[in-house]
Amino acid sequence: RSVQFSPSIRNRLGTFATYSAGYSLSQQTTTAVGSLSDSATHGLALGIGSGAEFSTVGWGLNFNRQKIDYQQRDDVETQSLSGRLSVRLQPRLTANGTVGYDKNNYATTSGATQGNFWTLGMDWRPSDLTSISADRGHRYYGPTSRLSISHQTRTTSTTISYSDSVT
């Protein structure tokens, strides 16, 4: 059984920036005796990014934190802080980069649970209805890559995505 509550706000600071803040609470329970998955998850997401006055160069800052309180095992906490910069190269082509830091306390065989990360990518909109986004990067646990293709019609929306990272 699962129950979730997720209020959020989003607004503008004039034409300078947009901001968002959200909290989520979810409760997972099972009927199995001695289940290790019964938990409560608390999440916080904060963000601020460039507004309409930044038409060529955009920016953003994000903070995410999640804590999973398990009833029968150790709790798990994850945190991420990141900054993003984008530059419009042409009306339909944008280059972007992200840098940040992850800090986590989950169990791992490598021992590494925190460190810097970065990505470099491109966003292309060949038409008003189609977008293609790709990036490559590196996190503390290894290389990452992502590709996403989206297309919309008047009545449908289709997205195909691929991501690759060390697991």
Contact 102, 140 (CB under 8 A): yes
The pLDDT assigned to 140 comes to 87
Contact 49, 83 (CB under 8 A): no
Q: What is the mean pLDDT of the segment spanning 136-154? A: 94
pLDDT tens digits, 89-108: 999 999 999 999 999 888 77
pLDDT at 35 over 90: no
Say how far apart CA 160 and CA 132 lie, in whole Å. 10
pLDDT at 34 over 80: no
Residue 55: DSSP 8-state? S
Which residue, among 46, 45, 58, 56, has the nearest Cα to 17 in the 3D structure?
58
The pLDDT assigned to 36 comes to 63
pLDDT tens digits, 109-135: 777 789 999 999 999 999 999 999 999
Say how far apart CA 165 and CA 167 lie, in whole Å. 6
Spell out the long-range contacts of 26-33 with Cβ–Cβ below 8 A and sequence spacing 24 or more.
26/2, 27/2, 27/3, 28/1, 28/2, 29/1, 29/2, 30/1
Number of neighbours of residue 57 by Cβ within 10 angstroms:
10
Q: What is the mean pLDDT of the segment spanning 40-53? A: 96
pLDDT at 1 over 90: no
The pLDDT assigned to 18 comes to 97
